Copies of this chain bind each other. A is one copy, B any other.
Amino acid sequence: MMGLHDLTFRDVVQKYSLHLRDRTAFVQGDRRWSFGQYVDDLHRLAESLASLGIRKGDRAAVLSLNSYTYFVIYGAAACLGAIVVPLNWRSKPDELRIILELCTPRLMVAEPEFAEMLAGLRERCGFVEHWLSTGDTSGFESLAALMKTDGRLEDIPLAPEDPYLIVPTAAVEGKPKGAVLTHGNTVAMGIQTIAHLGINRDTVYFNLMPLFHVMDQMFAFATLYAGGRNVILERFDAEAAAQGIQKHRVSVTATVPPMLASILDRAEASGWDLGSLRVVGGLAEHPETLERLHRKTGAKFWVGYGQTETYGYVTLCPYEESPGSSGREGLMACLRLVDEYDREVAPGQPGEVLVRGPLVFGQYWNMKEETDHVFRGGWHHTGDICRQDEKGYLWYVKRKAEKELIKPGGENVYPAEVEKVLLQHPAVEEACVFGVPDKEWGEAIKAVCAFKPGAPPPNPREVTEFVATRIARHKKPKFLVFVDRLPKRADGSVDRERVKAEHGRP
């Protein structure tokens, strides 16, 4: 039984099971699933997982491209109170292992194409009792076989503050954190997205971003909440995206650079009609790309500021309302900009963004100290430095020095993690990694390294490939420069600001 005043994501996924029963909720390729089928399926999976012994609070990791099954897993967990750990399928085995060791899931669901990669982890991840495959994979249980139940499920008490997801966030010092998003976060994020972007029963949302990413969840879950339709693309492909927009009369989608430009390219080349688009959510885009979007469609491009820890946008607005800004405070968010002593800064002055309200995540999984630290004073400290102008628009400045973040194509990369790998290379003596503006990806990773005296002169390309073999490929520096030595501060540490001043170009 639920609390009288509570509304959790379980209510959202079940909301239209009766009266929109026959209406299409999901489309993937040529297949369609109604709201009725979806709720039947997720109840069946929930019952199956319960019969495996999965209980409220147990973690279930998922390593999968976008699929209807992914939505069924999200729905089943919402009913069962199990906690989904959505994994980035671009991760390397060692990165996955670190996250799995952090979250200790009792269950892993993987697509067949990732099964091989997981095989090497099974021995070290003894806490995972059930390895399930969405296809036929030797050594894995079959998810489909498991789901052959009748979907009767006892009513499990759930509260808005109960954990629903653990979303891995970027590694600091090589140590990733798991942002716990609650059932209440999900509802608050959903209704805010609906209220601002006008998502409704007629919305057709195209899942072009990966479903493990909060940016895609934000739109996908809001669409489900509003009784709209989710069209699913397994993984991004510009031609398929452009074609799908025409075919499914897509009204809403979300992208990060350079996805939108490539969709526009393909639409131009192949003649696909993007005219049904009404809203495209995203991050900083090239004005030129947006001009092309506006020439081709009546769509508004919405920008925003947010992070995994706030389950998406804290501020948002249509791009043209304040070009270059990240928009204004959303309805479910309270915002403050403060100096390093948590004193409010004057309008226009840079300050760290603090957030309060129902969008703020519940905790870092099993990291009480880190959680207490970011929540000090009753506000979530985002670690992002922004300015807020007199009209309330937020302008991104930089990451706070101690947790500088690079966002190539919308992914989070912490310099410290890349630096750590660079320093493992035999020719590298010192390393400083930071972000530089990039036409294609919005931001790109640049590394400035000092080479070891006496070692053979290093080949930059060989060094960046060295990184790519050890951590996810998108964390590989796009630019690498060798210097004799890096400038130092009085305390002997690398003077990052001076390195950036001297090398802060692509």
Contacts and interface: CB of A to CB of B under 8 A. Distances in A.
A331 B4 contact: no
A368 interface: no
Contacts of A347: 18
The oligomer's copy count stands at 2
Interface in A354-400: 356-358, 360, 362, 375, 377-380, 388, 390-393
B7 A328 contact: no
Contacts of A390: 19
Contacts of A195: 191, 194-195
Contacts of A20: 392
A7 B391 contact: no
Interface string A160-172: 0100000000000
Nearest to A201: B328
Contacts of A268: none
B334 A19 contact: no
Interface string A412-426: 000000000000000
Interface in A15-32: 15-16, 18-20
Contacts of A18: 347, 392
B392 A191 contact: no
Contact of A378 (B3, B375, B379, B391): B3
A148 to B, nearest CB: 27
Contacts of A4: 356, 360, 375, 378-380
Nearest to A362: B5
Nearest to A1: B378
Interface in A27-51: none
B2 A378 contact: yes
Contact of A7 (B1, B194, B198, B357): B357
A38 B329 CA distance: 19
How many chain A residues sit at the interface, stated as a range, is 35 or more
A226 interface: yes
A225 interface: yes
Most B Cβ at <10 Å: residue of A19, A198, A362:
A19
Contacts of A329: 15
A332 interface: yes
A6 interface: yes
Interface string A317-348: 00000000000110110100000000000010
Contacts of A380: 4
Interface of chain A, main secondary structure: loop
A308 B360 CA distance: 30
A211 B417 CA distance: 58
A411 interface: no
A141 interface: no
Nearest to A328: B19
Nearest to A20: B392
Interface in A298-331: 328-329, 331
B2 A356 contact: yes
A5 B391 contact: no
A440 interface: no
Given A4-B360, A4-B379, A19 B391 contact: yes
Interface in A193-228: 194-195, 198, 225-226
Given A5-B360, A6-B357, A331 B226 contact: yes
A397 to B, nearest CB: 18
Contacts of A332: 7, 191
Nearest to A380: B4
Contact of A11 (B2, B334, B362): B334
A184 interface: yes
A351 to B, nearest CB: 13
A3 B7 CA distance: 19
B392 A5 contact: no
Contacts of A161: 5
Nearest to A347: B18
A184 to B, nearest CB: 7
A392 to B, nearest CB: 3
16 contacts: A2-B356, A2-B378, A4-B356, A4-B360, A4-B378, A5-B184, A5-B356, A5-B357, A7-B332, A7-B356, A11-B334, A19-B328, A19-B391, A19-B392, A191-B331, A226-B331
Given A4-B360, A11-B357, A198-B198, 12 more contacts: A3-B378, A4-B380, A5-B184, A5-B360, A6-B358, A15-B329, A15-B334, A18-B392, A19-B328, A19-B390, A19-B393, A20-B392
Interface of A: 1-7, 11, 15-16, 18-20, 161, 184, 191-192, 194-195, 198, 225-226, 328-329, 331-332, 334, 347, 356-358, 360, 362, 375, 377-380, 388, 390-393
